[in-house]
């Protein structure tokens, strides 16, 4: 990108970058954060909380599109904006302006945002260089089968570099699950990896967020939704074939781990369907 080599352009990946953010915040510099995923939102929140004017720009039409459905993402945007962060969606960065250091960011649609620093927090990319050089099949990641084996005999891949059934998870928990399966396989035991039920349970810019499973809902599924925008709460439970298969929670995540257990164990929910939206304690009290 033109201007990416200017002084004042930074990434947000490790503890040294956090120290840099603290320095920028202390100087009250105007910052543009590129990326509306978890890292971008955390960078923007930390800077704004410390007093820096912050604009967050995101290429997609909603924040955290991999973890949230549209209503949940819209509520999160509203809650984050209440903390003084300007958010621009469908915003594609064209170039960074400045002579020797950052002076502004120009978007593809021609808009220009004044800035003294730019933070890129736009996600990760699998490192596939070694596999490519070795002639191993690569798509977005290193392609593996249910035994985590590549198309080359006795060569395996797990973790953020691996692509299984078209998915690169980019998270630590699937890597643990893949590692366990591969260890069993290498020890001569029957084991296969069929994919992971990914869950997100954290605070994003001070807002509690949880999502797990198929929270969009496949064909034939049904959704139960409770939404209180003024109170900052959104709950969506997706049911398919008599089981809870996905959930999204914003604000109140008290029952997140219980919902995750129901999803992962595919426990039948017919007996609790009408009340599970209101939480486990209510069901136990009944």
Tens digit of each residue's pLDDT (9 = 90 or more) over 175-201: 999 999 999 999 999 999 999 998 998
- Provide the β-strand partners of residue 144: 164
In this prediction the pTM is: 0.86
What is the pLDDT, as a whole number, of residue 286?
64
Percent of the chain with pLDDT over 70: 100
**Which residues have C-beta within 8 Å of that of residue 269, sequence separation ≥ 6?**
239, 242, 243, 244, 262, 276
In the chain, domain spans: 9-120, 129-186, 205-285
Between CA 168 and CA 125 the distance in angstroms is 9
Report the top-level CATH class of 9-120.
alpha beta
Report the top-level CATH class of 205-285.
alpha beta
Between CA 145 and CA 127 the distance in angstroms is 18
Whether 205-285 and 9-120 are alike in CATH topology: the answer is: no
Q: Looking at residues 64-79, what average pLDDT do you find?
A: 95
- Measure CA 277 to chain center: 24
Q: Which two tokens stand for residue 183?
A: 């260890």
């Amino acid at each position: 990108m033109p201007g990416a080599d200017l002084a004042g352009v930074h990434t947000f990946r490790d503890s040294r970058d956090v120290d840099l953010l603290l320095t920028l915040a202390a100087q009250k510099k105007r910052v543009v954060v590129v990326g509306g995923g978890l890292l971008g939102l955390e960078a923007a929140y930390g800077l704004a909380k410390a007093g820096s004017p912050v604009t967050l720009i995101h290429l997609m039409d909603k924040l955290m599109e991999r973890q949230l459905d549209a209503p949940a993402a819209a509520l999160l945007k509203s809650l984050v904006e209440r903390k003084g962060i300007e958010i621009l969606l469908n915003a594609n960065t064209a170039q960074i302006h400045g002579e020797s250091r950052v002076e502004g960011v120009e978007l593809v649609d021609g808009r220009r945002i004044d800035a003294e620093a730019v933070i890129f927090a736009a996600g990760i990319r699998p490192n596939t260089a070694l596999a490519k050089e070795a002639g191993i099949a690569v798509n977005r990641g290193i392609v593996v089968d249910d035994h985590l084996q590549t198309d080359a005999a006795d060569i395996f891949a797990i973790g953020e570099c691996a692509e299984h059934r078209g998915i690169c998870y980019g998270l630590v928990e699937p890597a643990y699950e893949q590692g366990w399966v591969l260890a069993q396989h290498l020890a001569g035991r029957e084991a296969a990896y069929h994919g992971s039920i990914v869950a997100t349970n954290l605070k994003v810019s001070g807002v509690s967020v949880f999502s797990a499973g198929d929270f969009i809902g496949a064909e034939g599924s049904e959704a139960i939704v409770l939404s209180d925008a003024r109170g900052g709460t959104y709950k969506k439970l997706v049911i398919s074939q008599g089981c809870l298969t996905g959930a999204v929670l914003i604000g109140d995540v008290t029952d997140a781990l219980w919902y995750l257990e129901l999803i992962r164990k595919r426990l039948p929910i017919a007996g609790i369907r009408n009340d599970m939206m209101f939480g486990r304690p209510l069901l136990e009290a009944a």
